[in-house]
Amino acid sequence: MTCSKDYIERAENAVLHTYNRYQIVLEKGKGVRLYDLEGKEYLDFGAGIAVFALGYGNEEYNQALKDQIDKLIHTSNLFYNVPMIHAAEKILKASGMSRVFFTNSGTEAIEGAIKTARKYAWMKDNSTDHEIIAMKHSFHGRSLGALSVTGNSHYQEPFKPLIGGIRFAEYNNLESVKEQVTDKTCAIILETVQGEGGIYPADKEFLQGVRKLCDEKGILLILDEIQCGMGRTGSMFAFQSYGVEPDIMTAAKALGCGVPVGAFMLNEKTAARSLVPGDHGTTYGGNPFACAAVSKVFDLFEELEIVKHVREITPYFEEKLDMLVDKYEFLTQRRGKGLMQGLEVTGRPVGEIIQKAMDNGLILMSAGTNVLRFVPPLVITEEDIDEMADKLEKSF
C-alpha cells in the first residue's frame, strides 16, 4: 500500500509548486469529517475554503450527480440543457437578480463582472477610459483582471502591468470611497464580507452609503459573494441582511458544493444594456453536470433549512469563540458574520497554531497574516463546535 509520504513525493515531482500544501493526503470525507490515507480523522472547519456547505457524502447530492453523468455531462453553450435552466431559475429566485451567466470558478465570475461593468459604461458614452473603484485588502482572484481589483500588492507585483483604470479605497470608510469617485467611475466592487483580507464584514452604514452613492452618480455596484454567499452569513446571500441590492453579483464556492462552478448575476437594468452575443463566452460554463449540482444544492438548502440552521447555530458558535478570546491573551478579537468567523492572533504565528490543530485532528485555515479563519460546513452542530473548541485549546 502506498503511503502518504510516497504520494507527496510524487506530487512534488509532477505538480507545479504554487501551493505550500500541508503534509496530508486526504482520501475521503463523511459529514463534517475528513480522513487521510492512514485513516486519521479530522474535524473540518475549513470546508475546502467555504465550499462544502452540505458536508461530505450527502446521498441526495451524490445521487443527483450520478444520475446526470448517466444522462449528459457536456453540450457546450451552442445548445440549451435542462439542468442549466433549472439552476438559473433557482439562483435568480434566491438572489433576486434578473439574469445569470455560469462560469467555472469565482475568478471567472469576477472577470465577467468587470467586463459587464465596462460594457455598460461603454454603451452610455462610447468611451473606453472608465474607472473601477476597488477596496484595499480585498481578494477577488488570481487572473489578471481579478488581480487588478485585488487590493494587495503582494499578489500583484510580479504580474504587472495589470488592467488600468483601477482606484483603491478603504473598506468601511465611505469618505475614502467618495474621494476616489471621478466622472470616469463606472463601478465599485467589494466583498460583502472580506475573506482573505482578514474576515471583515461590511458595516451596514457603509454598504448602504456606497449603494446610495452609486445611485446618485450612475455607478454600478458589484458585490463579490464568492465566499460569503450561499447561506454562510445567515441569509442566502450576505447583502440581503443589509437592505441593499447589487447591480452585479458574483458567486461560486458553495454554489456547487464541490463541483467547480461559479456565476455572475445582473439586475434588469444592467442586463438590458451590457453583454450581447459575442461579448463573452465559455466552453464549460453552464454545462449539465455542473448545473445539476447547483440545482440540487438549492433543493437541499431548502429541504434541510440550511439558512435557518446557520442563523440558529451562529450565537452558540460566536459565544464559544468569544470565550476563547476572553481566556487567551494572544487572541485579541473575534469578528465575522454567521459561520464565517475569524480570531485575530498577536504574538504567535498563526501557521503554527493551524499545524498543531491538524496534529490534533482539526482543520482550520488562515486569513490575512494573523487571523484564524473558521468556515465550516453549514451543517455543523453544537457538539461539533464543542469538539472544535476543545481541539483548538489543546493546540494552544
Contact 133, 180 (CB under 8 A): yes
Tens of pLDDT along 128-157? Answer: 999 999 999 999 999 999 999 999 998 999
Distance in angstroms (rounded) separating the CA atoms of residues 161 and 144 = 9
Sign (positive or negative) of CA dihedral 109, 113, 116, 122: negative
pTM for the full model?
Answer: 0.96
Question: SS3 breakdown of the chain: % helix, strand, coil, rounded to 5?
Answer: 45, 20, 40
Contact 184, 165 (CB under 8 A): yes
Distance in angstroms (rounded) separating the CA atoms of residues 150 and 24 = 30
Confidence class of residue 1 from pLDDT cuts 50, 70 and 90?
Answer: low
Mean pLDDT for all residues in the chain: 97
- Helix ranges, the chain (H): 4-14, 47-50, 59-71, 82-95, 106-125, 144-148, 153-156, 174-180, 204-217, 268-272, 288-303, 306-327, 350-359, 382-395
Tens of pLDDT along 95-111? Answer: 999 999 999 999 999 99
β-strand 340-345 against 371-374: which pairing, if any?
Answer: antiparallel
DSSP-based three-state secondary structure for 48: helix
* Widest distance between CA atoms in the chain: 65
Cα-based torsion angle of the residue sequence 276, 110, 46, 88 in order, rounded to the nearest 10 degrees: -10
Give mean pLDDT, residues 162-188.
97
CATH 3.40.50.1100 assigned to domain 4-54+306-395? The reply is: no
- The burial class, CB within 10 Å (0-12 / 13-18 / 19+), for 322 is middle
Tens of pLDDT along 358-376? Answer: 999 999 999 999 999 999 9
Interacting residues of 118 by C-beta distance below 8 A, sequence separation 6+: 128, 130, 132, 186, 187
Name the percent of the chain lying above pLDDT 90.
98
For the cut 90, the answer to whether the pLDDT of residue 304 exceeds it is yes
CATH 3.40.640.10 residue window(s) in the chain: 60-303
CATH 3.90.1150.10 residue window(s) in the chain: 4-54+306-395
Give mean pLDDT, residues 293-297.
98
DSSP-based three-state secondary structure for 136: strand
Q: What is residue 3's predicted lDDT score, i.e. its pLDDT? A: 86
CB atoms within 10 A of CB 141: 24
Tens of pLDDT along 226-277? Answer: 999 999 999 999 999 999 999 999 999 999 999 999 999 999 999 999 999 9
Contact 100, 88 (CB under 8 A): yes
For 60-303, CATH gives 3.40.640.10
Give mean pLDDT, residues 44-57.
98
Could you tell me which of 105, 68, 122 has the C-alpha nearest to residue 263?
A: 105
Sign (positive or negative) of CA dihedral 311, 312, 315, 320: negative
What the block records as the C-alpha cell of 241 is 441582511
Interacting residues of 291 by C-beta distance below 8 A, sequence separation 6+: 81, 83, 84, 86, 87, 88, 102, 261
DSSP-based three-state secondary structure for 306: helix
Q: How many residues does the chain have?
A: 396
Could you tell me which of 339, 333, 147, 140 has the C-alpha nearest to residue 238?
A: 339
